[in-house]
Amino acid sequence: MIEARGLTRTYRTRGAFTGERTVHALRSVDFILPKGGAVSFIGESGCGKTTLGKILTGIETFDGGELLIDGTEVSKLPPRKRAPYFRRIQMIHQDPYSALNPTRTIDQILGDPLRMRARATGAGSSGVRGRAAELLELVGLEPDGVLPKYPHQLSGGQRQRVVIARALTVDPEVLIADEAVSMIDVSLRLGILALLHDLRTRLGISLVFITHDVATARYIGAGGELHVIYRGQVIERGPTDDIIQAPVHPYTQCLLSAVPIMRGREEPGPDRLEPLAPLDEKAPADGCLFAPRCPFADEGCSAARPALEQLGNTGQHHACFHPAPRRVVGVEIQPAGV
Protein backbone atom coordinates (compact mmCIF):
# COMPACT_ATOMS: atom_id res chain seq x y z
CA MET A 1 0.00 0.00 0.00
CA ILE A 2 2.73 2.46 1.02
CA GLU A 3 6.40 2.02 0.34
CA ALA A 4 9.04 4.48 1.53
CA ARG A 5 12.52 4.27 0.06
CA GLY A 6 15.23 6.36 1.60
CA LEU A 7 12.80 9.02 2.81
CA THR A 8 14.82 12.04 3.93
CA ARG A 9 13.82 15.44 5.31
CA THR A 10 16.27 18.11 6.31
CA TYR A 11 15.26 21.46 7.81
CA ARG A 12 17.46 24.52 7.73
CA THR A 13 16.52 26.98 10.42
CA ARG A 14 17.86 30.37 11.36
CA GLY A 15 17.58 31.49 14.96
CA ALA A 16 18.63 34.75 16.62
CA PHE A 17 20.84 32.91 19.11
CA THR A 18 21.56 29.61 17.46
CA GLY A 19 22.46 30.96 14.03
CA GLU A 20 21.89 28.71 11.05
CA ARG A 21 21.19 25.14 11.98
CA THR A 22 20.55 22.02 10.00
CA VAL A 23 18.12 19.52 11.46
CA HIS A 24 18.05 16.05 9.99
CA ALA A 25 14.46 15.20 10.83
CA LEU A 26 14.49 11.98 8.76
CA ARG A 27 17.53 10.13 7.45
CA SER A 28 16.84 7.67 4.69
CA VAL A 29 13.86 5.86 6.18
CA ASP A 30 12.68 2.68 4.42
CA PHE A 31 9.54 0.74 5.14
CA ILE A 32 6.67 -1.12 3.55
CA LEU A 33 3.10 -0.93 4.77
CA PRO A 34 1.09 -3.82 3.35
CA LYS A 35 -2.64 -3.51 2.68
CA GLY A 36 -4.43 -4.10 5.96
CA GLY A 37 -1.11 -4.28 7.79
CA ALA A 38 0.43 -2.26 10.58
CA VAL A 39 3.77 -0.52 10.91
CA SER A 40 4.85 1.24 14.10
CA PHE A 41 7.48 3.84 14.80
CA ILE A 42 8.83 4.44 18.24
CA GLY A 43 11.33 6.99 19.50
CA GLU A 44 11.87 9.92 21.80
CA SER A 45 10.49 13.38 21.27
CA GLY A 46 12.20 15.17 18.39
CA CYS A 47 13.31 12.02 16.55
CA GLY A 48 11.22 12.80 13.48
CA LYS A 49 7.98 10.89 14.10
CA THR A 50 5.55 13.70 13.30
CA THR A 51 7.60 14.73 10.26
CA LEU A 52 7.14 11.21 8.92
CA GLY A 53 3.39 11.27 9.57
CA LYS A 54 3.07 14.63 7.81
CA ILE A 55 5.01 13.39 4.79
CA LEU A 56 2.81 10.31 4.53
CA THR A 57 -0.31 12.49 4.48
CA GLY A 58 1.12 14.99 2.00
CA ILE A 59 1.17 17.89 4.51
CA GLU A 60 4.96 18.00 4.45
CA THR A 61 7.40 17.50 1.60
CA PHE A 62 10.57 15.43 1.61
CA ASP A 63 13.89 16.23 0.01
CA GLY A 64 15.28 12.79 -0.64
CA GLY A 65 14.05 9.32 -1.43
CA GLU A 66 10.78 8.05 -2.83
CA LEU A 67 7.26 7.61 -1.55
CA LEU A 68 5.15 5.08 -3.38
CA ILE A 69 1.42 4.81 -2.81
CA ASP A 70 0.02 1.73 -4.53
CA GLY A 71 3.15 1.64 -6.65
CA THR A 72 2.97 5.28 -7.80
CA GLU A 73 5.78 7.67 -6.86
CA VAL A 74 3.60 10.52 -5.66
CA SER A 75 6.16 13.31 -5.42
CA LYS A 76 6.66 13.13 -9.18
CA LEU A 77 2.97 13.83 -9.82
CA PRO A 78 1.63 17.36 -10.29
CA PRO A 79 -0.14 18.56 -7.09
CA ARG A 80 -3.66 18.03 -8.46
CA LYS A 81 -2.97 14.40 -9.29
CA ARG A 82 -1.35 13.87 -5.91
CA ALA A 83 -4.46 14.77 -3.91
CA PRO A 84 -6.49 11.60 -4.61
CA TYR A 85 -3.60 9.47 -3.37
CA PHE A 86 -3.20 11.39 -0.14
CA ARG A 87 -6.96 11.45 0.45
CA ARG A 88 -6.77 7.73 1.09
CA ILE A 89 -4.34 8.37 3.93
CA GLN A 90 -5.80 10.15 6.95
CA MET A 91 -3.98 11.36 10.02
CA ILE A 92 -5.21 11.22 13.59
CA HIS A 93 -3.39 13.77 15.64
CA GLN A 94 -2.26 13.72 19.20
CA ASP A 95 -4.57 16.40 20.45
CA PRO A 96 -8.31 15.75 20.10
CA TYR A 97 -8.95 19.13 21.75
CA SER A 98 -7.50 21.28 19.01
CA ALA A 99 -8.46 18.92 16.17
CA LEU A 100 -12.19 19.73 16.41
CA ASN A 101 -13.71 23.14 15.77
CA PRO A 102 -15.24 24.18 19.12
CA THR A 103 -18.02 26.24 17.53
CA ARG A 104 -19.53 23.37 15.56
CA THR A 105 -21.63 20.42 16.66
CA ILE A 106 -20.53 16.85 15.98
CA ASP A 107 -23.38 16.69 13.47
CA GLN A 108 -21.80 19.55 11.52
CA ILE A 109 -18.24 18.29 12.01
CA LEU A 110 -19.08 14.96 10.38
CA GLY A 111 -21.71 16.37 8.00
CA ASP A 112 -19.38 18.78 6.18
CA PRO A 113 -16.91 16.24 4.77
CA LEU A 114 -19.73 13.76 4.12
CA ARG A 115 -21.71 16.37 2.12
CA MET A 116 -18.61 17.36 0.17
CA ARG A 117 -18.02 13.77 -0.70
CA ALA A 118 -21.66 13.16 -1.60
CA ARG A 119 -21.52 16.19 -3.92
CA ALA A 120 -18.31 14.97 -5.52
CA THR A 121 -19.72 11.53 -6.22
CA GLY A 122 -23.16 12.87 -7.22
CA ALA A 123 -24.83 10.83 -4.48
CA GLY A 124 -26.91 13.69 -3.05
CA SER A 125 -26.90 14.64 0.62
CA SER A 126 -29.95 12.73 1.82
CA GLY A 127 -27.85 9.92 3.25
CA VAL A 128 -25.47 12.19 5.13
CA ARG A 129 -27.07 12.06 8.55
CA GLY A 130 -27.49 8.31 8.40
CA ARG A 131 -23.86 7.87 7.44
CA ALA A 132 -22.73 10.16 10.29
CA ALA A 133 -24.70 8.02 12.73
CA GLU A 134 -23.22 4.86 11.22
CA LEU A 135 -19.69 6.18 11.63
CA LEU A 136 -20.33 7.16 15.24
CA GLU A 137 -21.59 3.67 15.96
CA LEU A 138 -18.54 2.25 14.27
CA VAL A 139 -16.26 4.18 16.66
CA GLY A 140 -18.31 3.14 19.68
CA LEU A 141 -20.40 6.26 20.28
CA GLU A 142 -24.13 6.53 20.65
CA PRO A 143 -25.24 8.73 17.70
CA ASP A 144 -28.37 10.34 19.14
CA GLY A 145 -26.54 11.48 22.25
CA VAL A 146 -23.44 12.71 20.48
CA LEU A 147 -24.61 14.33 17.22
CA PRO A 148 -26.13 17.50 18.76
CA LYS A 149 -23.21 18.07 21.13
CA TYR A 150 -20.25 20.43 20.86
CA PRO A 151 -16.70 19.03 21.30
CA HIS A 152 -16.31 20.54 24.79
CA GLN A 153 -19.29 18.53 25.99
CA LEU A 154 -17.44 15.28 25.31
CA SER A 155 -14.64 13.53 27.19
CA GLY A 156 -11.14 13.33 25.69
CA GLY A 157 -11.72 9.72 24.70
CA GLN A 158 -15.06 10.50 23.06
CA ARG A 159 -13.49 13.42 21.24
CA GLN A 160 -10.73 11.23 19.85
CA ARG A 161 -13.41 8.80 18.68
CA VAL A 162 -15.10 11.68 16.83
CA VAL A 163 -11.74 12.57 15.26
CA ILE A 164 -11.43 8.98 14.08
CA ALA A 165 -15.03 9.01 12.76
CA ARG A 166 -14.24 12.20 10.84
CA ALA A 167 -11.16 10.56 9.31
CA LEU A 168 -13.41 7.68 8.22
CA THR A 169 -15.80 10.00 6.32
CA VAL A 170 -13.54 9.77 3.27
CA ASP A 171 -13.23 5.95 3.42
CA PRO A 172 -9.48 5.99 3.94
CA GLU A 173 -7.31 2.96 3.31
CA VAL A 174 -4.62 4.05 5.75
CA LEU A 175 -4.80 5.76 9.13
CA ILE A 176 -1.74 7.46 10.54
CA ALA A 177 -2.03 7.68 14.31
CA ASP A 178 0.53 10.15 15.67
CA GLU A 179 0.64 9.80 19.46
CA ALA A 180 -3.10 9.24 19.17
CA VAL A 181 -3.58 8.28 22.80
CA SER A 182 -0.87 10.22 24.59
CA MET A 183 -3.15 13.12 25.55
CA ILE A 184 -6.03 10.91 26.55
CA ASP A 185 -6.74 9.86 30.09
CA VAL A 186 -4.94 6.60 30.85
CA SER A 187 -8.18 4.81 31.68
CA LEU A 188 -9.59 5.56 28.21
CA ARG A 189 -6.50 4.72 26.16
CA LEU A 190 -7.02 1.01 25.84
CA GLY A 191 -10.48 1.61 24.37
CA ILE A 192 -9.08 3.86 21.63
CA LEU A 193 -6.26 1.42 20.85
CA ALA A 194 -8.74 -1.45 20.70
CA LEU A 195 -10.87 0.63 18.33
CA LEU A 196 -7.91 1.25 15.98
CA HIS A 197 -7.07 -2.44 16.08
CA ASP A 198 -10.69 -3.26 15.35
CA LEU A 199 -10.82 -0.91 12.34
CA ARG A 200 -7.78 -2.68 10.99
CA THR A 201 -9.16 -6.18 11.35
CA ARG A 202 -12.79 -5.41 10.46
CA LEU A 203 -12.43 -2.82 7.71
CA GLY A 204 -8.95 -3.77 6.50
CA ILE A 205 -7.62 -0.28 7.12
CA SER A 206 -3.82 -0.20 7.28
CA LEU A 207 -2.27 1.52 10.25
CA VAL A 208 0.88 3.56 10.75
CA PHE A 209 1.26 3.92 14.46
CA ILE A 210 3.59 6.56 15.84
CA THR A 211 4.40 6.68 19.54
CA HIS A 212 7.05 7.24 22.17
CA ASP A 213 5.45 4.64 24.42
CA VAL A 214 6.54 1.01 24.40
CA ALA A 215 3.38 -0.45 25.87
CA THR A 216 1.26 1.30 23.24
CA ALA A 217 3.51 0.15 20.39
CA ARG A 218 3.45 -3.38 21.67
CA TYR A 219 -0.31 -3.52 21.92
CA ILE A 220 -1.15 -1.99 18.58
CA GLY A 221 1.90 -3.17 16.64
CA ALA A 222 1.50 -6.88 17.42
CA GLY A 223 1.76 -8.82 14.18
CA GLY A 224 3.41 -5.89 12.36
CA GLU A 225 6.84 -4.32 12.02
CA LEU A 226 8.29 -2.03 14.64
CA HIS A 227 10.80 0.63 13.66
CA VAL A 228 12.91 2.23 16.34
CA ILE A 229 13.94 5.70 15.28
CA TYR A 230 16.76 7.78 16.71
CA ARG A 231 17.51 11.30 15.50
CA GLY A 232 15.75 10.59 12.25
CA GLN A 233 17.46 7.26 11.58
CA VAL A 234 15.82 3.85 11.94
CA ILE A 235 18.36 2.07 14.15
CA GLU A 236 16.47 -1.17 14.68
CA ARG A 237 13.48 -2.77 13.06
CA GLY A 238 11.73 -6.10 12.82
CA PRO A 239 8.63 -7.98 13.97
CA THR A 240 7.26 -6.03 16.94
CA ASP A 241 7.28 -8.94 19.37
CA ASP A 242 10.87 -9.94 18.48
CA ILE A 243 12.17 -6.41 18.93
CA ILE A 244 10.41 -6.00 22.24
CA GLN A 245 11.51 -9.37 23.56
CA ALA A 246 15.09 -9.37 22.30
CA PRO A 247 16.33 -5.99 21.10
CA VAL A 248 20.01 -5.91 20.12
CA HIS A 249 20.57 -2.16 19.72
CA PRO A 250 21.60 -0.41 22.94
CA TYR A 251 19.18 2.45 22.26
CA THR A 252 16.23 0.08 21.93
CA GLN A 253 17.37 -1.67 25.07
CA CYS A 254 17.42 1.63 26.92
CA LEU A 255 14.06 2.65 25.51
CA LEU A 256 12.48 -0.60 26.64
CA SER A 257 13.85 -0.22 30.10
CA ALA A 258 11.65 1.83 32.38
CA VAL A 259 14.78 2.77 34.31
CA PRO A 260 17.66 2.93 31.89
CA ILE A 261 20.20 0.97 33.86
CA MET A 262 22.23 -1.51 31.89
CA ARG A 263 24.09 -4.55 33.12
CA GLY A 264 25.96 -7.38 31.50
CA ARG A 265 28.86 -5.37 30.14
CA GLU A 266 32.41 -6.52 30.69
CA GLU A 267 33.85 -3.25 31.92
CA PRO A 268 32.40 -0.92 34.46
CA GLY A 269 31.02 2.23 32.96
CA PRO A 270 28.11 4.61 32.98
CA ASP A 271 24.94 2.69 33.67
CA ARG A 272 22.63 5.59 33.09
CA LEU A 273 21.80 7.41 29.89
CA GLU A 274 22.52 11.10 29.68
CA PRO A 275 19.45 13.18 28.94
CA LEU A 276 18.99 13.65 25.22
CA ALA A 277 21.11 16.51 23.97
CA PRO A 278 19.35 18.98 21.69
CA LEU A 279 19.22 17.56 18.20
CA ASP A 280 22.39 18.02 16.20
CA GLU A 281 24.10 19.82 19.06
CA LYS A 282 26.30 16.81 19.70
CA ALA A 283 25.40 14.53 16.83
CA PRO A 284 28.65 13.23 15.35
CA ALA A 285 29.13 14.16 11.72
CA ASP A 286 30.19 10.69 10.63
CA GLY A 287 29.87 8.30 13.54
CA CYS A 288 26.96 6.46 15.06
CA LEU A 289 24.31 8.96 16.13
CA PHE A 290 23.81 7.17 19.43
CA ALA A 291 27.53 6.88 20.26
CA PRO A 292 27.67 9.97 22.53
CA ARG A 293 25.12 8.37 24.88
CA CYS A 294 25.98 4.72 24.39
CA PRO A 295 27.65 2.76 27.21
CA PHE A 296 29.10 0.31 24.66
CA ALA A 297 30.60 2.79 22.20
CA ASP A 298 34.29 2.60 21.26
CA GLU A 299 36.46 4.67 18.89
CA GLY A 300 35.13 2.79 15.89
CA CYS A 301 31.61 3.99 16.68
CA SER A 302 32.62 7.63 16.28
CA ALA A 303 34.48 6.98 13.05
CA ALA A 304 31.71 5.55 10.90
CA ARG A 305 27.94 5.41 10.91
CA PRO A 306 26.50 1.90 11.03
CA ALA A 307 23.86 1.10 8.43
CA LEU A 308 20.88 -1.19 9.00
CA GLU A 309 21.82 -4.83 8.55
CA GLN A 310 20.13 -8.12 9.11
CA LEU A 311 20.68 -9.98 12.36
CA GLY A 312 21.61 -13.51 11.29
CA ASN A 313 18.67 -15.16 9.57
CA THR A 314 16.07 -13.35 11.62
CA GLY A 315 13.62 -10.70 10.54
CA GLN A 316 15.45 -8.27 12.78
CA HIS A 317 17.68 -5.49 11.46
CA HIS A 318 19.96 -3.20 13.45
CA ALA A 319 22.35 -0.32 12.84
CA CYS A 320 24.98 -1.00 15.50
CA PHE A 321 28.62 -2.16 15.51
CA HIS A 322 28.09 -4.03 18.77
CA PRO A 323 24.69 -5.65 18.61
CA ALA A 324 23.99 -8.15 21.37
CA PRO A 325 21.04 -9.39 23.30
CA ARG A 326 21.61 -7.70 26.64
CA ARG A 327 19.67 -7.95 29.76
CA VAL A 328 18.42 -4.55 30.70
CA VAL A 329 17.61 -4.35 34.35
CA GLY A 330 14.43 -2.62 35.31
CA VAL A 331 12.43 -3.52 32.23
CA GLU A 332 8.78 -3.58 32.84
CA ILE A 333 6.60 -3.76 29.81
CA GLN A 334 2.99 -4.08 30.71
CA PRO A 335 0.06 -4.04 28.41
CA ALA A 336 -1.93 -2.72 31.35
CA GLY A 337 -2.27 1.01 31.66
CA VAL A 338 -2.30 1.46 27.94
Ligand X SMILES: Nc1ncnc2c1ncn2[C@@H]1O[C@H](COP(=O)(O)OP(=O)(O)O)[C@@H](O)[C@H]1O
Under the binding rule (CB under 5 A), the answer on residue 57 touching Mg ion is no
Interface with Mg ion, residue 206, by CB under 5 A: no
Strands 309-310 and 206-211: unpaired
Q: Is 252 in the site for Mg ion (CB under 5 A)?
A: no
Q: Which helix (H) or strand (E) holds 257?
A: strand 257-262
Query: CA of 244: how far to CAs of 23, 173, 226, 254, 281, in Å?
Result: 29, 27, 9, 11, 29
Closest CA to 111 of 143, 83, 89: 143
Binds 334, which of Mg ion, ligand X, none (CB < 5 to 8 A, cut-off by type)?
none
Alpha-helical (H) ranges within 100-151 are 106-121, 128-138, 143-146
Q: Does 51 bind Mg ion (CB under 5 A)?
A: no
Cβ distance to Mg ion smaller for residue 135 or 229: 229
Site for ligand X in 240-279 (CB under 6 A): 279
Asked whether the beta carbons of 107 and 132 are under 8 A apart, the reply is yes
User: Is 13 near ligand X (CB under 6 A)?
Assistant: yes
Least Å from the CB of residue 195 to Mg ion: 21
| 23 binds ligand X per the rule CB under 6 A | yes
- Binding-site member from 47, 99, 207, 234 for ligand X (CB under 6 A): 47
Contacts with ligand X by CB under 6 A: the residue count is 13
Q: How far is the CB of 233 from ligand X (least distance, A)?
A: 12
What's the CA gap between 33 and 119, in Å, rounded? 31
109 touches 162 (CB < 8 A): yes
Per rule CB under 6 A, is residue 48 in the interface with ligand X? yes
Separation of alpha carbons 313 and 330, rounded Å: 29
Is 64 a binding residue for ligand X by CB under 6 A? The answer is no
DSSP state of 204: -
Q: Which of 50, 90, 160, 211: binder of Mg ion (CB under 5 A)? A: 50
Q: Which residues bind ligand X (CB under 6 A)?
A: 11, 13, 23, 25, 43, 45-51, 279
Q: Which residues bind Mg ion (CB under 5 A)?
A: 49-50
